[in-house]
Amino acid sequence: MPPKHFTLNTGAKIPSIGLGTWQSPPGQVASAVSYALQNGYTLIDGAYCYANEDEVGQGLAEAFSAGKVKREDIFVVSKVWTTYNTRVEEGLDKSLKSLGLDYVDMFLVHWPLLMNPEGNHDRFPTKPDGSRDIIQGYNHVDTWKQMEALLKTGKTKAIGVSNYSKLYLEQLLPHATVIPAVNQIENHPGLPQQEIVDLCKEKGIHIMAYSPLGSTGGPLLSAEPVVKIAEKHGVKPSSVLLSYHGPRGSTVLAKSVTPERIKENIESLIDLDEEDQAELKAYSDKLVAEKKWQRFVYPPFGVNFGFPDKQ
């Protein structure tokens, strides 16, 4: 069977699969979190930006009160949003209050930029022309220094980054006294981001993969090698895409609010053999060589984050 956990550079164990909560429909998040925790999941991924951490907190409380899981057995991830990148602890405090927790297991820099902390909206401030209100020239390393300081507070057990390219990691690492434990990125056969994965492996930074099916609608479910491998193993294409990350040493985030799908996602992971992995790699390599990458999540920040597919 695929691995159940990976070991972080902190020595802590992180589950190989977790429940993602981004874009989950309002009113359904709490029950999804509660159900997942009572049916095998031990990792919940969230963020202040998702505007649903109150519901995530309700789901956590419900699962804990049911007596099947304890707080110390659950790995909770949150992220500081871009309007809080100059006041990181305040951002964490807001998340902790919503989650009803004293600490999170992992706190990430959601994106390495600064949106106006005094703008016209708490999460998505805009300029008069409607564009995102970005503070130009801000150094993301300054945010990381605040993240490092959080470790002394006990409010998070580990810190990491999200949506960091190879370029941005190379800017950060020389100034880091704490190496990020995680880099959470969009990752799937259509966007292998191998240059980031390889650098992270070299530096001991664990990859967490989001949008494993290619985001809304699951566009990668119909990719030829994915369908072929699914038929070979007698599973759904979604199982192949979720199982893709185990051999890569990465944690994958599966998003659903449907009980049947939540349970299916964690129970349908399979061992991809060397032939399967080679087929998926060949598919990825061809897309990269032809510059036909498939990135599905790229907010209109108007910032060059250094990703090769966005130059």
> Tokens standing for 66?
């049911």
The answer to whether the beta carbons of residues 271 and 242 sit under 8 Å apart is no
Q: What are the residues facing 109 on neighbouring strands?
A: 80, 161
The answer to whether the beta carbons of residues 20 and 44 sit under 8 Å apart is no
Question: Measured between alpha carbons, how far apart are the two ends of the chain, in Å?
Answer: 39
Report the SS3 class of residue 290: coil
The answer to whether the beta carbons of residues 243 and 260 sit under 8 Å apart is no
Q: Go through the chain and tell me how many residues it has.
A: 311
Pick from 265, 256, 198: nearest CA to 15? 265
**CB burial string 24-62: b at 16+ within 10 A, e below:** beeeebbebbbbbbeeebbbbbbbbbbebbebbbbbbbb
What does the alpha-carbon distance between residue 109 and residue 81 come to, in Å, rounded to a whole number? 7
Based on the residue annotation, tell me whether 298 is a catalytic residue of this protein.
Answer: no
Set 50, 84, 164, 283: catalytic member: 50
The answer to whether the beta carbons of residues 114 and 134 sit under 8 Å apart is yes
Question: Catalytic amino acids?
Answer: 50
